[in-house]
Amino acid sequence: MEMNAKQLMETARALMADGKGLLAMDESDPTCNKRFEKLGIPQTLEARRAYRELIVTTPRLGESISGAILYDATIHQKTKDGVSLVEVLSKAGIIPSIKVDSGADALAGHPGEKITGGLDRLRERLAEYAKLGARFAKWRAVITIGEGLPTCACVHANAHALARYVALCQEAGIVPIVEPEVLMDGSHSLKRCCEVTEKIIRAMFHEFYDQRVMIEGIILKTNMILPGLKCPKQESVEEVADATVMCLMRVVPAAVPGIAFLSGGQSGELASARLNAMNVRFRSRLPWPLSFSFARAIQQPAMEIWRGDDGNIKAAQEALLHRANCNRAARRGEYSSAMEKPQI
């Protein structure tokens, strides 16, 4: 670990530098297919490859994106001209990363709850991914809020698995993104989301301590503090920003090099506005940079424009770059809804 400490801190710093953020493009095949199906895009290996090529070849993407998270198939793929997608990213100044969990499965004995897998052979897989150019990794734990949920068993099992993943990544010199996602599904209040997020993050850092994790060499990827999608009370952008920062200040050590939010199904505009409000309202008081690691909130408009048609690539890339730029502005507290108006 000693040997890797400097490398881990440097990678984490680079990921958080210059007001840039992360692009999650690591949807598993089933998730990617589901999104394609809704838009009438063929659910084929080639369509998924072409879509990922569209993303990584977006001109000037490296001005707002510091790192991109890939899926196993994608890290092995090439553009139609035969250049590996990893190489395209690296040339654009974007650090390649890999999702290494194997997804969330039902937690035995705990109906409605999930445990993330992927520890088997993880040491060997990390070594292979490092050879392919990955310098950071991602593991996502899923926490559901419901009647009597989450249980302590679910929180602890996921926190423990995350800690084991983190220790293996750091041993390999790869910065782990630790992602506990408290889902927006349901009618719970913002306060309940705050309690549950606090609980999972606390449990996680406790496990990190036991597993001898280097806190300076991780990135935390978490949800914003939001009411459930079906909650009748939907707080304002400012209230969400305040609740999110207050919650994280209570539980995330100042030694963490950065926090990057997931979007979790929020619209692109709302995700940008909420991140912006956090940076505007708390900038001078934050111990860590607040950034983004969005998938849907960056990609969705681009995917809708592309629809599998080569003729739409340029317009789709412009839409992708626009969302990436809006989020870069939000990191600096310089985003405003005026950025969303068509430029004449």
What distance in Å separates the CA atoms of residue 49 and residue 16, rounded to the nearest whole number? Answer: 28
The answer to whether residue 179 is catalytic is: yes
The least distance separating ligand 13P from the CB of residue 138, rounded to whole angstroms, comes to: 7
Amino acid code (one letter) for 46: E
Q: How would DSSP label each residue in 14-43?
A: HHHGGG-EEEE----HHHHHHHHHHTT---
Interface with ligand 13P, residue 297, by CB under 6 A: yes
Give residue 285's identity as a one-letter amino acid code: R
- Residue 53 annotated in active site: no
Beta-carbon contacts of residue 311 (< 8 Å; ≥ 6 apart) = none
Q: Is 174 helix (H, G, I), strand (E, B) or coil?
A: coil
Give me the catalytic one of 179, 181, 198, 207: 179
Residue reference for tokens 């590996």 = 84
Judged by DSSP in three states, 166 sits in helix
Q: Which of 24, 65, 290, 329 binds ligand 13P (CB under 6 A)?
A: 24
Closer of 140 and 160 to ligand 13P (Cβ): 140
**Tokens coding 180:** 């506990």
Residue in this structure with the two tokens 């607040």, named with its chain if needed: 290
- Interface size with ligand 13P, residues (CB under 6 A): 10
Q: Does 262 bind ligand 13P (CB under 6 A)?
A: yes
Q: Is 263 in the site for ligand 13P (CB under 6 A)?
A: yes
To ligand 13P, the closest distance from the beta carbon of 8 in angstroms equals 21
Nearer to ligand 13P, 53 or 179 (CB): 179
User: What distance in Å separates the CA atoms of residue 145 and residue 103, rounded to the nearest whole number?
Assistant: 19
From the centroid of its chain, how far is CA 218?
A: 13
Nearest approach, Cβ of residue 98 and ligand 13P (Å): 12
Contact with ligand 13P (CB under 6 A) among 67, 150, 176, 264 = 264
The residues with which 141 forms a beta bridge, in sequence order, are 180
- Contact between 296 and ligand 13P per CB under 6 A: yes
**Residue 295 within binding range of ligand 13P, rule CB under 6 A:** yes
The stretch near ligand 13P (CB under 6 A) out of 44-52, 279-287, 290-298, 328-336 is: 290-298
Closest CB to ligand 13P among 173 and 264? 264
Chain positions 113 to 152 lying near ligand 13P, rule: CB under 6 A, are 140
323 near ligand 13P (CB under 6 A): no
Contact (CB, 8 A) for 166 and 128: no
Half-sphere exposure of 102 (CA within 13 A, CB side): 10
Q: How far is the CB of 203 from ligand 13P (least distance, A)?
A: 19
From 20, 99, 138, 221, the catalytic residue:
221
Least distance CB 142 / ligand 13P (angstroms) = 9
Q: Please state the φ and ψ torsions of residue 240, each to the nearest 5 degrees.
A: -65, -45
Which residues of the chain form contacts with ligand 13P (CB under 6 A)?
A: 24, 140, 179, 262-264, 294-297
The catalytic site residues sit at: 179, 221
